[in-house]
Each structure stands twice: as C-alpha cells, then as structure tokens.
Amino acid sequence: MSDSKAKTTDFGFKTVAEDEKVSLVADVFHSVAAKYDVMNDLMSFGIHRLWKRFTIDCSAVRPGQSVLDLAGGTGDLTALFSKRVGPTGKVVLADINASMLNVGRDKLRDQGLVDNIDYVQANAEALPFADNSFDIITIGFGLRNVTNKSAALASMFRVLKPGGRLLVLEFSKPESELLSKAYDLYSFKLLPKMGQLIANDPDSYQYLAESIRMHPDQETLKQMMEQVGFAEVSYHNLTGGIVALHRGYKF
Amino acid sequence: MMQLWPQLLLSLAEKVLADIIAMDQEAKPRLKRLAGKQFAFQLQELKLRVVLTATDSTILLNQHQEPVDCAIQTDLASLKRLRDPNQLTQLIKQDAVQVEGDLQVAQQFSGFFQQLQPDWSGKLASYLGDGMAHKVEVSLKQMTRVIASKAQQLDQLSTELLQDELQLTPHPLEVEQFSVDVSRLQAKVDRLQQQLTALQE
Ligand SMILES: C[S@@+](CC[C@H](N)C(=O)[O-])C[C@H]1O[C@@H](n2cnc3c(N)ncnc32)[C@H](O)[C@@H]1O
C-alpha cells in the first residue's frame, strides 16, 4: 500500500513524512518537559503568564462550566480554569505527551488543585470525547505542533457545545517589520543558545523557533477556523502580534 | 504591550487579595456563602470592568464585558456616596449607578469586603516575634492615621478637580438642573407642536 509519494508535512523548516511528525514532536516535548516552565518564563520574560490570563478573560468562564484545555502540557491554563469553574465545574487537561501530562499533574497537585481536573492523553486530531461536551476549549501554543491542523480544529468543533467557544493562543506574525526583525534575531540566535544553556537541548528550541515561522498567520488561521464551521471568528494581536488569540463560536 | 496592563494589574491584585483573605480566620466560612457567584464592577473613568469570582477560599479577578450574576457601573463621585448603603436607591434612581442582575449578589460581595479583618499583627508576629510585632503595629497605626487624613484631603481634592477643572463628572445639582431644563424644553416643543397642528388644520 505504500505510495511512492508519501504525504509530507513540515517539522520546523524540515519536511518530513506525515506520520513521522507526531513522534518527532513527541521527542521534543519529552525532552523539554522537565524544564518547560522555567524556559517559558525565561524566553518570554514572564509575559506568557499575561497572554494566558488574557485568554481566560476572553473565555468569560463561569462557575460550573466544563472546559477542555487541549495540548495543555504543564497545565497553566488548566490551573486558572480549575479555580474559576469551582467544584460544580470540570476541566479536562488533554495532551498527546505523557511526560508533559505528568509534569502538569504533579504541578497542579502541588497547588492543591485536584478535585475538578481530569487528565487525558489524547491527540487533538481525534478527540476521545462525545459531541457537544464542552463550554470552552483552549489550545495554548499547541496547534502549531499538530500535523493536520484542520482535522484538529474540526475535532474541537465537534466536541464543543452549541454556544461554546474555542480559543486558540498561538505564536503569530508580528505586525511591524522592525519587530519582526528583532524577533527573528532573538529566536534564531538567542533562543537555541538559551535552550542549550538551561535545558541542554538546543535542537528542541531551534524547532520551536522554526515551527513558529511555519505556523499560519492571523488571517489564514481565522479562515481555517471558519472552514470547519466556527462562527464570529476574531483575533487579538498580543505583544505586537508575536502572539495572537483567535476566538470562534459554535452555534 | 500596553494592552496587557489589566492582566498584569489584576494578577497582582488577585495575589494580594488572596493573602489578605487568608489573614482573616473568619473570612473562609463567610466566603462559602458567596462561592460560585460572579460580580462585575466598572468605574466610568476607567475602561476596566473587573469581574470578581468567589471561590470557597478566595476571590479571583478577571476582566471582560460578558454576563455575570450582578454588574454595577458607576463613577468616582457616586462611588464615594455608595459607602453609605442608604444612598444606593437614590443613586440608582438618579442613574448615577447602573445595576444589572441580582442586586443581592452585589450586596453580599460588598458585605464580605466590609467585614474583612485581616490579622496583620498575627501575621507580623509570625515573622518578627510578639514584642517586635506590637511595636511595629503601633507605629503602623500611627502611620495609617496620617495616611488616612492625607487620603481624605486628596479625596476632596480629586472630587473637586474632577468636577471643576476637568468637568468630567457633573455635580448632582447640575444633573438636576439639566433634567429640569430638558423637561421645560419638552413642554415648549409640545406646545409648539400643538400650535403647528392647529395651524395646519
Ligand atoms: C508548547 S506546549 C504548550 C503547553 C501549554 N498549553 C502552555 O501553554 O504552556 C505544546 C503541547 O502540545 C502538545 N501536543 C503536540 N501535538 C499534539 C497533538 N497532536 N495533540 C495534543 N497535544 C499535542 C505537546 O505535547 C505539548 O505539551
């Protein structure tokens, strides 16, 4: 059954077979899991915390709601949601990677957050949840690692309740030329060095920088969301467009 | 970058608030009754609409414009009058305070904050020992008194400044005068209208 022209996709700037990307991405996150939180603070100067709080604000989460934090990794968004939905609500932290899930589970347990959180190892492209299950879905810095983004968005649409909303927090395209240059310099020269020094893992951070550049820009992602059925799709540029938060509704 | 300042401000405020609530032994049982409720508060002078979510151990802060159990909007001048609960109905009638949703929720939140009594000296003592903590407390109290009196002066000044210099918030009397003017004008227009129809016929 082998096709002479096997389907390919991007892995950073490299082109790899589609079924290879999953395991390559897995390697990256197995390798960074332990140092993931420290690196996040360092690389973004702590600003990722504000991007995440902005995401929570845009979700307008209410006590009692059920939330899916997809590609939730070490659970920053899950922690914010868990406190807000309270004992009558529920948060599912789903990630494809067991190492990231473990780091997340330990961290949340240390913060005393246990009762309303479920941990599920799952691929965003084929979510193991019933239709219409969640009021809110977030995917923070996760979509860019997913091989088939449209399949993943469609899967999120399916498990979202009517009236529910999806929030995609992801690196995007800086609005100004100047910022873009500075950002390139930072991410290709400095990031891998920092990755080397702190996590002893320059390759993973080289991948990070490359995968950011390969990710669809604001307008493209907006269209992709609309194509799988999301309505009233809009986005906010944060920190000059280095990051964008897309929001779409299922009606 | 500037657009994230509410998130920065509120995340800091949320931490401080959690610490203060943790310092009051009585706060937790009182929070139980509030837990799961959301209250939004907006000052006209600021663009920020703060959403408070009560949990069973603290109050969380967010920022958005969407529906909550109770939302209150007001301006600085009326806010000061709001401290006197008897003024509330009057302020609502004057449209100086807009309430949406269950007013009881607003009262419960406000009651919670008014009764909040953090045990500062207990907290201090755990760092410094009792004797030292007492000394610090006494000087802190003195300081609070000085600050309070200064704050009052500042308060007065800012109200006057807003009213007179910046003309941002009209004085209640001005609002009253304006309403009177409007109804007079209304009456005039009505009369004119009648004359006009009479003429046309
Ligand atoms: C950069 S981390 C983001 C973690 C967290 N959301 C945050 O913002 O800190 C990306 C996460 O996406 C996960 N991931 C990658 N591909 C995935 C897929 N196909 N399905 C689900 N999760 C995936 C990775 O395992 C990793 O934990």
Q: Answer yes or no: do B99 and B11 share one domain.
A: yes
Chain B: nearest CA to A55, how far in angstroms?
Answer: 10
Using DSSP, state whether A237 is helix, strand or coil: strand
Ligand 1 centre from B94 Cα, in Å? 52
Task: Please give, rounded to a whole number of angstroms, the shortest distance from the CA of B42 to a CA of chain A.
Answer: 15
C-alpha B116 chain-centroid distance: 16
The H or E element that residue B112 is part of is helix B103-115
Task: Answer whether A88 sits within 8 Å of B36, measured CB to CB.
Answer: yes
Contacts of B62 (CB under 8 A, 6+ apart): A53, A56, A57, A84, B10, B50, B51, B53
Q: Are residues B102 and B138 in the same domain?
A: no
Other beta carbons within 10 angstroms of residue A101's beta carbon come to 22
Alpha-carbon distance B63 to nearest alpha carbon in chain A (angstroms): 6
Domain containing B130 equals: 121-200
Collapsed DSSP state (helix, strand, coil) of residue A244? strand
Query: What's the first-to-final CA gap in chain B, in angstroms?
Result: 66
Cβ distance A243 to A47 under 8 Å? no
Say whether both B164 and B70 belong to one domain: no
Q: Coil, strand or helix: which one is A3?
A: coil
- Region B28-40: mean pLDDT is 94
Whether residue B144 is found in the same domain as residue B86: no
Residue that finishes a domain, picked among B118, B145, B179:
B118
* Whether B2 contacts chain A with CB within 8 A: no
Q: Does A175 touch chain B (CB under 8 A)?
A: no
Question: For residues A216 and A29, is the Cβ–Cβ distance under 8 A?
Answer: no
How many Cα neighbours within 13 Å face the side chain of B130? 0
Which residues on chain A are in Cβ contact (under 8 Å) with B56? 86-87
> Per-residue pLDDT tens for B40-79?
999 888 888 999 999 999 999 999 999 999 999 998 888 8
Instruction: Report CA(A11)–ligand 1 centroid distance (Å).
Output: 15
Q: What is the pLDDT of residue B94?
A: 86
Give percent of chain B above pLDDT 90.
33
Instruction: Tell me: do B56 and B87 sit in the same domain.
Output: yes
- In Å, how far are B73, B74, B76 from B95, measured between CA atoms? 10, 9, 14
B104, B127: one domain = no
Residue in A75, A66, A236, A84 with CA at minimum distance from that of residue A136: A66
Same domain, B18 and B102: yes
Q: Is A225 in the pocket of ligand 1 (CB under 6 A)?
A: no
Q: Are residues B158 and B187 in the same domain?
A: yes
- Of the three residues B118, B135, B161, the one that is the final residue of a domain is B118
Give all domains of chain A, ordered by start, each with its CATH number.
Answer: 28-175+207-249 (3.40.50.150)
Q: What's the number of domains chain B is made of?
A: 2
CATH code for the domain of B82: 3.30.1050.10
pLDDT along chain A (251 residues), means of 10: 64 86 85 85 90 97 98 96 97 96 95 94 97 98 94 98 98 92 88 84 86 92 98 96 96 95
One domain for residues B86 and B58: yes
Cβ A97 under 6 angstroms from ligand 1:
yes
Output the pLDDT for position A55. 98
Residues B16 and B113 in one domain: yes
Please check whether residues B68 and B130 belong to one and the same domain.
Answer: no
Tokens 């609500």 belong to A89
CA distance B168 to A108: 47
Q: Which atom of ligand 1 is nearest to the CA of A147?
A: 19
B175 and B102 in a single domain? The answer is no
Inter-helix orientation angle A76-85/A47-59, to 10°: 40
